[in-house]
Amino acid sequence: MIERPLNVKPDKDRLINLIANMKAGAIKIPVFQRDFVWKPQQMLELFDSILKGYPIGSLLLWSPNAEFKTREYIGPYHVKKTSRDLKYVLDGFQRLSTLFGCLVNPDDYAENEKLIGAKEFNIFYNLSDREFTYIKNNHEKRYYYMPLHRIVDTFEFLDFVKELESNILDKSESTRLIENAKEISKTFYDYEIPFVEIRGGDIKSAVEIFSRINSTGTEISQDFMLSALSYNPDTNFLFSEAITEFLNKLSIYNFENLKRDTVLNCISTSRNKVHFDVKVEDLLKHDLEYLTFTSFEHIEMAVHFLHKHLKVWDVRLLPYPTQLIFIADFFRINKNPSFKNVENLKKWFWITSYSNYFTIYSLSQQRAAYKRFLNFAQGKHEDGILKIVENFESAKFPEKINFTGVRTKTLQLFMINHAYDEMDMDVGERLREVFVASQKERTPGNIILRASSDYEMHSSEKNLHNFVELEDTTTLERFFITPELVYLYRANKIDEFIRLRESIIQSSERKFVRELGINYSGYETLDLY
C-alpha cells in the first residue's frame, strides 16, 4: 500500500448526506472511540440547536493509510460493511450517534440489527408546540408528534402529511400542523455540518490534530489518546474499555465513579515518577497492557484499604484523588503490608487530609512529597510526610456537610470512623444519613451518619425516635449522642440538641486532630443557653 502524505481538508456537507453515508457504511466508528455517553437532555438540545439554525460544531473525520477495526453499531443500529473508502470518526461520535440513531427509519433494520433498550433515541417533534420531546406510545394526540425519521425521509414525510389531513378534522388546525411539519423538514433538509477530513498519515498524527482542533475546544481525554495510540488490530486490548470494565468492578466499593484520569494517573505513577511528570506517550514505551492490569491490582488494593480501614464507603468521600494515587503505589511496593505498615498508612491519610497537604504544596513540593512517600513505602521513613511549614493547621470546622470540599469530606470520615471504629464492615457498605430536625439542614449537628447495613439490619431504628429511645448509651455515644442529648431530645428541644451535638463533635475532632500533631483551627465553645 502506498503511504499517502498527511493532508487536512476542511469541508461541509448536508446533514442528510452524512446520515446516508453512515447508513451505507462509508463513515464508521473506530473501536478505540469512547462509548456513547450522552444523556437524553443532551440529545434534545442537539436537535433544538438544529431547529434554531445554530452550529453544532465541526466533525473530525479521518481517511487513514490503513484500515482499523470498527464498532458494529452507531446509535442503536448495526451498520453495514462497505468496500468503499472508509472515513473514521475521531471527533463528533456523540453527535453523529444521536443524529443517526434518531433520524434513520427503524423499519429499515431487522430486529437482530437493533440494540435492546435504545428508547433514548425515540425522539419526536411536537408539531403544535414546535419542540423536541419524548412521548408515550399511547399519547392521545399522537398525530401531533412526528417521529424524527419522517422529517428527513421524503416518502415518509408525505405519508405523514396525508395522515395529518385524514385524522385532524379541524382544517385550520391540520393546516397549521402541516406548515410546521414542512418548516422543520426544510430546516433539516438544508442543514449543513462542517467537518475536517484528515487524509493519510498514521494514528499518532491524527490524534495530535484532534487534540489541537477538536470542535469542543477541550483537550482530548488521556485514556482516549492512549487507546488510539496503542491500538493494535492484532490484539483485543483496548485501554479505554479496560478502564470502563475496571470501574464497573470497583462498584462493589461504590468507587465506580472514580475519575478515569485518576486511574490513568495511578498507572503513570507506577513508573516511580509522580503522574504529572509522565507523558502519555511515555507509557507506550512499555507493555501498556501488562502495566495497566498490574496497576489495576494495586488500585483495587488501595480502594479496599480505604473502604475497610478508613470507612471511605463512597468515592465522593475521598478527600484527595492524589491520596489514592499514592496509596496505590504503596501497595505496588507492599503487597502484603504488616499491621504496623497499615497503621502508619492510616495515620498518613489522616495527616494529609487534615493538613490540606495536597492543596498547599507546589508541584515541586509534591514531587518531593512523592519521593518522601516512596521512602515511607520502602520502610526508609517513619511517616512519609514532607513538612514545609513548622506546624500544619486544619481548615475551620465546616458549617455544612457536603461532598464538595476536602474539609467536609474529612469531617464525615471522622464521624463515620468514630461511630464504627475498628468494626470489620463488609465490602459494599454504603453511607446513610439521618436528620435530627425535619428541615434537613446539612449542619454537622443535624446529621447522623450510619452504615447502610446497620441501618437496614435494625429496621425499627430507621425512625430517629426509635434509634434514640431504643439504643444503649454506648452505641449512642458512638454517634455523638450523650445522655444529656437524649434528655434534650425527649424534651423536644431540638435546636439545643443540634447545637450541643455539634459542640461535642468539634471537641472530639479537636482532640483527634491535635493527636496527629496538627493545630485545630477555628474551634469555638458554643454558648448553648
Instruction: State the pLDDT at residue 214.
Output: 53
**Contact between 325 and 369 (Cβ < 8 Å):** no
Instruction: State the pLDDT at residue 528.
Output: 40
The b-or-e profile of 259-277 (16+ CB within 10 A means b, else e) is ebebbbbbbbbbbeebbee
The mean pLDDT of 126-133, rounded to a whole number, is 92
Q: What one-letter code names the amino acid at 152?
A: V
Q: What one-letter code names the amino acid at 193?
A: I
Residues 6+ apart with CB under 8 A from 160: 146, 150, 181
The mean pLDDT of 513-520, rounded to a whole number, is 95
218: confidence class by pLDDT, cuts 50, 70, 90 = very low
The mean pLDDT of 426-449, rounded to a whole number, is 91
Instruction: Name the E strands within 337-451.
Output: 431-435, 447-451
Percent of the chain with pLDDT over 70: 89
Q: Which three three-digit cell numbers place residue 377? A: 513505602
Q: What one-letter code names the amino acid at 477?
A: E
Q: Which three three-digit cell numbers place residue 434? A: 439521618
What is the spatial distance between Cα 133 and Cα 131, in angstroms, rounded to a whole number?
A: 7
For the residues of 434-500, what is the DSSP string, one character each? EESSTT----GGGEEEEEHHHHHHSGGGGSHHHHHHHS-HHHHHHTT--HHHHHHHHTT-HHHHHHH
pLDDT at 219 over 70: no
**Contact between 62 and 197 (Cβ < 8 Å):** yes
Give residue-wise pLDDT tens across range 386-397. 988 888 999 999
Its pTM stands at 0.72
Cβ neighbours around 336 below 10 Å, total: 6
Which among 125, 9, 4, 22 is positioned nearest to 73, based on CA atoms? Answer: 22
Handedness of CA 41, 255, 414, 324 (dihedral sign): negative
Instruction: State the pLDDT at residue 215.
Output: 47
83: confidence class by pLDDT, cuts 50, 70, 90 = low
What is the spatial distance between Cα 77 and Cα 332, in angstroms, rounded to a whole number?
A: 43
478: confidence class by pLDDT, cuts 50, 70, 90 = very high
What is the spatial distance between Cα 313 and Cα 415, in angstroms, rounded to a whole number?
A: 13
Instruction: State the pLDDT at residue 1.
Output: 44
Instruction: Name the E strands within 134-240.
Output: 145-147, 192-199
Highest mean pLDDT among 187-196, 360-369, 463-472, 504-513: 504-513
The three-state secondary structure class of 90 is strand
For the residues of 97-140, what is the DSSP string, one character each? HHHHHHHS-GGGS-GGGB-TT-GGG--EEETTTTEEE---TT-T
pLDDT at 440 over 60: yes
Which among 199, 269, 188 is positioned nearest to 2, based on CA atoms? Answer: 199
Instruction: State the pLDDT at residue 140.
Output: 56
Give residue-wise pLDDT tens across range 363-393. 899 999 999 999 999 999 989 999 888 889 9
58: confidence class by pLDDT, cuts 50, 70, 90 = confident
Instruction: State the pLDDT at residue 174.
Output: 87
Among 24-38, 202-216, 242-256, the minimum mean pLDDT is found in 202-216
Q: Virtual CA dihedral for 311, 315, 316, 319, nearest 10 degrees?
A: 70
Strands 431-435, 447-451: pairing kind: antiparallel
Which among 228, 177, 205, 182 is positioned nearest to 32, based on CA atoms? Answer: 228
pLDDT at 328 over 90: yes
Give residue-wise pLDDT tens across range 280-293. 777 877 788 899 99
CA atoms within 13 A on the CB side of 406: 20
Give residue-wise pLDDT tens across range 19-47. 999 998 899 888 777 778 889 999 999 99
What is the spatial distance between Cα 308 and Cα 254, in angstroms, rounded to a whole number?
A: 12
**Contact between 270 and 333 (Cβ < 8 Å):** no
Biggest CA pair distance of the chain:
87
Strands 192-199, 59-63: pairing kind: parallel
Instruction: State the pLDDT at residue 315.
Output: 97
295: confidence class by pLDDT, cuts 50, 70, 90 = very high
Q: What one-letter code names the amino acid at 480?
A: F
527 or 445, greater pLDDT = 445
Instruction: State the pLDDT at residue 341.
Output: 94
Instruction: State the pLDDT at residue 3.
Output: 54
361 or 22, greater pLDDT = 22
Whole-angstrom distance between the N-terminal and C-terminal Cα of the chain?
87
pLDDT at 490 over 80: yes
**Contact between 257 and 315 (Cβ < 8 Å):** yes
What is the spatial distance between Cα 442 and Cα 401, in angstroms, rounded to a whole number?
A: 5
According to DSSP, the residues that pair with 449 across neighbouring strands are 433
What mean pLDDT is reported for the chain? 87
The three-state secondary structure class of 63 is strand
Instruction: State the pLDDT at residue 139.
Output: 60
